[in-house]
Amino acid sequence: MNIIDILNKKKNKGILTKEEIEFVINEYVKGNIEDYQISALLMAICINGMSDTETFYLTEAMLNSGEKLNLSSIDGIKVDKHSTGGVGDKTTLIVAPLVAACGVNVAKMSGRGLGFTGGTIDKLESIPGFNVNLSTKNFMDQVKDIGLCICSGNKDLVPADKKIYAIRDVTATVDSIPLIASSIMSKKLASGCNKIVIDLKVGNGAFMKNLDEATKLAKLMISIGEYFNREVVCILSNMNEPLGYAVGNALEVNEAIDTLQGKGPEDLTKLCLYIASYMVLLSKNMVIDDAMKLVSSKFADGSAYNKFLEMVKYQHGNIDNIEISKNKVDVLAHETGFITEINTLKLGEIAGMLGAGRKVATDKIDPTVGLVIHKKVGDIVSQNMPIVTVYYNKPVENIEEQVYECFSFSKVKKDKDDLVYKIIK
């Protein structure tokens, strides 16, 4: 068996065997297959696709490329949550303590961001003193003590995905549905949870630009779950505008804190209640109405916020000293009218230019910068009204013009799209 034969087979639309896929993944992780050879295979997969069975085998090979977390010593069903990422997505910071407040153990290993803003771990690190680097033992002990822990992912989990994703990111193969599905599911399976809820973003600020492609991805991830005897629920949610108002690490943490105190944006609050309800439903075998009632009660009575504070204290953070840049500028409306569209991807890229995100893994994030959006689709604005506040530490040329160009206006109001398009399970 050799990589050239496998490349030729996939180039000619052949179906790879389990043994061939295992060979490629194992030899690549060992360093016996070159990056340029993997790049060729990824492009062939991107162009010619993979069968569901091939995708199952790819997920399994990636899963088996490293360690797997064993959560069996933690009582009860363990439910994990994943988001496919978007602009202003800080849901984990709200959902995890909310679900834990409902009596469900949340043992979550999260990652750093590559793109618009930081990942969950980068956001948490904007809390002074917050320790994201826990040993597996300390991680497990904290979950047993308080029912909640979010920390940095074990570097030995799914090393194949880390290597392959770095190649996908620079070879225009990020948007392949089989590659997305196997990447997400291998990491979720390695995290040791029994059941998985996936918030699958759809829109101009997400990988999945339309509902048809997102539905295909959701169904494939659910099929992968069935192959591994895991229950998966996909929530397809709107990413045609930023989620909430804050885009940027410390800004998003502050918005998450406000939301846990009942003072957050309506869209962010609603989506978090949806995600949390399905996590509780899966763990407690409830119907959705009962799960929603339980989640809503724990949100309203402050239990979720108190659980968040408990986690922050355990991990030595201090939310009283979260730093936001003192340098800011308002972007003003040039005209009076209704906002009809937001270029969400471009707004995310601007946040990255400010320093809120990273282009490569070694880039250093500035947690204090970002954007706060004051007006969204369907809102009316008057001339000279602030629509965005930009927080910065380094100058970005024509920043106000760049931000303003992300917004389209009309004299006629446009209704908002649904926040949640559909639930697939």
| Positions marked catalytic | 82, 161, 168, 183, 187
Query: Are the CB atoms for 74 and 195 separated by under 8 Å?
Result: no
Classify residue 36 as exposed, middle or buried by CB count within 10 Å of its CB (0-12, 13-18, 19+): exposed
For residue 388, the number of C-alpha atoms closer than 13 Å in the C-beta half-sphere is 30
Considering Cα of 272, then 274, then 276, then 279, what sign does the dihedral take?
negative
Residue type for position 59: T
Pairing label, strands 407-410, 328-332: unpaired
Classify residue 320 as exposed, middle or buried by CB count within 10 Å of its CB (0-12, 13-18, 19+): exposed
**For 73-103, b where at least 16 C-beta lie within 10 A, e where not — what string?**
ebeeebbbbbbbbbbbbbbbbbbbbbbbbbe
Q: Kindly calculate the radius of gyration of the chain based on its CA atoms and give it in whole angstroms.
A: 21
The residues that bridge with 423 in the sheet, in sequence order, are 235
Residue type for position 186: S
**Residue for token pair 């690490």:** 249
**Residue for token pair 């010619």:** 48
First to last CA, the chain: 38
The DSSP-derived string for 368-414 is: T-EEEE---TT-EE-TT-EEEEEE-SS--TTHHHHHHTTEEEESS--
Distance CA 249, CA 259 (A): 15
Distance CA 199, CA 274 (A): 10
Distance CA 258, CA 34 (A): 48
The residues that bridge with 381 in the sheet, in sequence order, are 337
Considering Cα of 249, then 309, then 256, then 251, what sign does the dihedral take?
negative
Considering Cα of 159, then 133, then 136, then 232, what sign does the dihedral take?
negative
**Residue for token pair 């909430």:** 244
